[in-house]
Amino acid sequence: MGGRSLRGSRGLPPADHDPAQLPSRDAGCDIFLPHATASRLHAYFGQDPTTGAWTLTDAGSQNGTFLDGVLIMPGRSSPLLGRASLRFGRAELLFLQPAALEEYLLARSP
């Protein structure tokens, strides 16, 4: 995929998708991945407006998107539950739903 943004192919989000939910190495995105192994449009998050459930979809990235160590196939949405370890190329992030965030913070507090 490299530096191209081809909407409507290889699992990319529709043109009206909220760009704030696109993890990318493009500094214009809200989820900035400053790592050479992250694609310019790496993946995207989705949220069901009815249930609030979150998903993660690889946008045809060159170095892969991983959910809890498992490769996500391009164009396939994977559910994000309470807590998830995410990797975009070699850039690592932790996804936490509100309840999981509270548990995480309480476990780290003195």
pLDDT at 87: 94
**What predicted TM-score, i.e. pTM, was given to this entire model?**
0.72
**What's the per-residue H, E or C state across the chain?**
CCCCCCCCCCCCCCCCCCHHHCEECCCCCCEECCCCCCCCCCEEEEECCCCCCEEEEECCCCCCEEECCEEECCCCEEEECCEEEEEECCEEEEEECHHHHHHHHHHHCC
pLDDT tens, the chain, 110 aa long: 333 232 333 444 544 455 445 566 666 666 777 778 888 778 888 888 888 889 999 988 899 999 999 999 998 889 999 999 999 998 898 998 888 888 888 898 88
pLDDT at 24: 62
* Structural domains for the chain: 19-108 (2.60.200.20)
